[in-house]
């Protein structure tokens, strides 16, 4: 008989069907009840064993983690909260798992401990739930854009340009680091390197996506990006995935409309397709938060928070208006903010969360930020002080999307690049899009892990990517 996935089996009406299942043992109780999971669902299948019919030596080898092939009969379950179970007729051990050596015992493990064994943590119900949702969100992103006729562009991972102008990039080289060639000025001679020039891992696919938008009108990238930022925080990774759509003929309002529609689509997709995982993660989060002080707990349970984000239109207001609200807030007057509020500052997470959770009680889109705190490619407003930027703020997390209308006017873009010491010679190809048939266009970036963090209720970004890359950590 062919193997049947546990997910499918649990949907069947039990009528004494002969079945074959394979999976890993979660628990083995009283030499009678095996809880089996094959990764197709977070639910386990109960296998009932008549221990008088199996060799004692075989049963002694079954521990948490042991992989099994079981043939048996699917019958109605006598236990609570389960419709069916399998009466084992034959048990074959596919792979032993010594109990004294296996670190994942049937008990609650801390997330910190599980990060140390990231190669095994995917076997836990928590991480199966997180990464099943991550998988679904990745599919839904492609579905959303493909349904709208966007073209998926693969932007380069190795690049010679710094899209953000921040300089926090990983270098890519084949030079012998024990004998680096130097030119007559004592500088590294990159002409002898693989690409004949300095190269880095990309921090963004945006600039290349803009080239695609100038041809296809609407494109998106979805791929890995890298930041050599020495940040050991629960919100930063050195390697993460970004979704970056770019749209010709879109102004800032069109951009905001698309971003809001996309976020609501993705959250609705998660709520519809992963109810069991969300229920489990919500319960896990509630238990975890019992250990925290009241002021550090989430303002609403996970599922309620997701529903909160799709109920109403997002609030839209300018950065300047937001600063006024923050300055006049009782929080500010009572000095409850850790960072003082003033026009021109980059808003901190505490300010963003105040606007979402206290002031408006809905997601917020802020627009028209000071140009000094934003990237060179953003369209300048007539006031000479602000740019057509937009950030979307969510409860519990602050900024989840950053975007802008791009500067399509050649002279103004050229001047801004000069002001920010960005090489116009190196970036000739980017300027060419403004020389040859320029159009108004816009785009935004969504950090995929931030989205998964939000949708799963996890508190550390290292727990929503299978193998996190952080300072001093590059295991596997």
| 315 & 232 share domain | yes
Number of domains forming the structure of the chain: 2
Residue 370, domain CATH: 3.30.930.10
DSSP string, 323-348: HHHHHHSHHHHTT--SS---TTSPPP
| 133 & 12 share domain | no
Report the pLDDT value the prediction gives residue 6, as an integer from 0 to 100: 97
| 271 & 140 share domain | yes
Report the pLDDT value the prediction gives residue 20, as an integer from 0 to 100: 98
Exposure b/e, 389-421, CB count within 10 A at least 16 = b = bbbbbbbbbbebbbbbbbbbeeeebbebbeeee
| 342 & 214 share domain | yes
| 221 & 358 share domain | yes
Report the pLDDT value the prediction gives residue 354, as an integer from 0 to 100: 94
Give the N- to C-terminal CA distance of the chain in Å, as an integer.
Answer: 37
Examine the fold and report which residue of 59, 81, 107 is the final residue of a domain before the chain moves on. 107
SS3 408: coil
Tokens representing residue 150 in the block: 């966007």
| 35 & 132 share domain | no
Report the pLDDT value the prediction gives residue 163, as an integer from 0 to 100: 64
Strand 151-152, strand 218-226: pairing: parallel
Residue 158, CA distances (Å) to 181, 203, 261, 333 in order: 21, 10, 31, 48
Domain assignment of residue 333, yes or no: yes
Among the listed residues 117, 49, 48, 42, the one whose alpha carbon sits nearest the alpha carbon of residue 84: 48
| 29 & 137 share domain | no
| 93 & 147 share domain | no
Element (H, E) at 293: none
| 401 & 446 share domain | yes
Cα angle, residue 88 at apex, residues 84 and 93 outer, rounded to 5°? 120
Examine the fold and report which residue of 58, 78, 107 is the final residue of a domain before the chain moves on. 107
Residue 15, domain CATH: 2.40.50.140
Domain assignment of residue 252, yes or no: yes
Separation between Cα atoms, residue 139 and residue 120, nearest integer Å:
24
DSSP string, 238-266: SEEEEEEEEEET--HHHHHHHHHHHHHHH
pTM for this predicted structure: 0.94
| 103 & 127 share domain | no
Domain assignment of residue 297, yes or no: yes
| 258 & 384 share domain | yes
| 14 & 158 share domain | no
Tens-binned pLDDT, residue by residue, of the chain (476 aa): 799 999 999 999 999 999 999 999 999 999 999 999 999 999 999 999 999 999 999 999 999 999 999 999 999 998 778 899 999 999 999 999 999 999 998 888 999 999 999 999 999 999 999 999 999 999 999 999 999 999 999 999 999 876 665 568 999 999 999 999 999 999 999 999 999 999 999 999 999 999 999 999 999 999 999 999 888 888 889 999 999 999 999 999 999 999 999 999 999 999 999 999 999 999 999 988 888 887 777 778 999 999 999 999 999 999 999 999 999 999 999 999 999 999 999 999 999 999 999 999 999 999 999 999 999 999 999 999 999 999 999 998 899 999 999 999 999 999 999 999 988 998 999 999 999 999 999 999 999 999 999 999 999 999 999 999 999 989 88
Sign of CA dihedral 104, 109, 110, 111: positive
Examine the fold and report which residue of 107, 133, 149 is the final residue of a domain before the chain moves on. 107
Among the listed residues 392, 394, 397, 393, the one whose alpha carbon sits nearest the alpha carbon of residue 459: 397
Domain assignment of residue 338, yes or no: yes
DSSP string, 22-40: EEEEEEEETTTEEEEE-SS
- Identify the domain containing residue 207 by its residue range: 122-168+203-463
Domain assignment of residue 318, yes or no: yes
Report the pLDDT value the prediction gives residue 268, as an integer from 0 to 100: 98
Among the listed residues 23, 22, 29, 24, the one whose alpha carbon sits nearest the alpha carbon of residue 48: 29
Strand 45-48, strand 84-95: pairing: parallel
């Amino acid at each position: 008989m062919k193997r049947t996935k546990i997910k499918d089996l649990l949907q069947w009406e039990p009528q004494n069907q002969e079945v074959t299942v394979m999976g890993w043992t979660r628990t083995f109780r009283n030499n009678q009840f095996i809880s089996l999971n094959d990764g197709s669902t977070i639910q386990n299948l109960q296998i009932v064993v008549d221990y008088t019919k199996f060799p004692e030596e075989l049963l002694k080898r079954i521990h948490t983690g042991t992989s099994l092939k079981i043939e048996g009969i699917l019958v109605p379950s006598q236990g609570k909260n389960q419709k069916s179970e399998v009466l084992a007729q034959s048990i074959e051990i596919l792979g032993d798992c010594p109990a004294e050596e296996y670190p994942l015992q049937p008990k609650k493990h801390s997330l910190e401990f599980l990060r140390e064994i990231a190669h095994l943590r995917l076997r836990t119900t928590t991480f199966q739930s997180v990464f099943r949702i991550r998988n679904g969100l990745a599919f839904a992103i492609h579905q959303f854009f493909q349904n709208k006729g966007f073209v998926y562009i693969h932007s380069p991972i190795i690049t010679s340009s710094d899209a953000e102008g921040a300089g926090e990039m990983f270098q890519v080289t084949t030079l012998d680091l024990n004998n680096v060639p130097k030119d007559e000025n004592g500088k590294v001679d990159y002409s002898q390197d693989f690409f004949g020039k300095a190269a880095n891992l990309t921090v963004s696919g945006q600039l290349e996506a803009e080239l695609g938008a100038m041809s296809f009108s609407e494109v998106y990238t979805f791929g890995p990006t890298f930041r050599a930022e020495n940040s050991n925080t629960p919100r930063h990774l050195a390697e993460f995935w970004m979704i970056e759509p770019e749209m010709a003929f879109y102004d800032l309002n069109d951009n905001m409309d698309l971003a809001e529609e996309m976020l609501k689509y993705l959250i609705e997709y998660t709520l519809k397709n992963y109810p069991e995982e969300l229920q489990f993660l919500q319960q896990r989060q509630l238990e975890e938060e019992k250990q925290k002080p009241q002021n550090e707990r989430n303002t609403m349970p996970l599922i309620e928070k997701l529903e909160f984000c799709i109920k109403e239109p997002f609030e839209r207001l300018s950065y300047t208006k937001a600063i006024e609200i923050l300055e006049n807030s009782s929080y500010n007057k009572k000095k409850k903010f850790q960072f003082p509020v003033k026009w021109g500052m980059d808003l901190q997470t505490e300010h963003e969360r105040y606007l979402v959770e206290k002031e408006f009680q809905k997601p917020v889109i802020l627009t028209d930020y000071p140009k000094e705190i934003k990237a060179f490619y953003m369209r300048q407003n007539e006031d000479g002080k602000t740019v057509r930027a937009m950030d979307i703020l969510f409860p519990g997390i602050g900024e989840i999307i950053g975007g802008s209308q791009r500067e399509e006017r050649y002279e103004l873009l050229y001047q801004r690049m000069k002001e920010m010491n960005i090489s116009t010679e190196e970036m000739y190809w980017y300027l060419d899009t403004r020389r040859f048939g320029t159009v108004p266009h816009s785009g935004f970036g969504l950090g995929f892990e931030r989205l998964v963090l939000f949708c799963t209720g996890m508190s550390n970004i290292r727990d929503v990517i299978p193998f996190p890359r952080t300072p001093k950590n590059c295991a596997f």
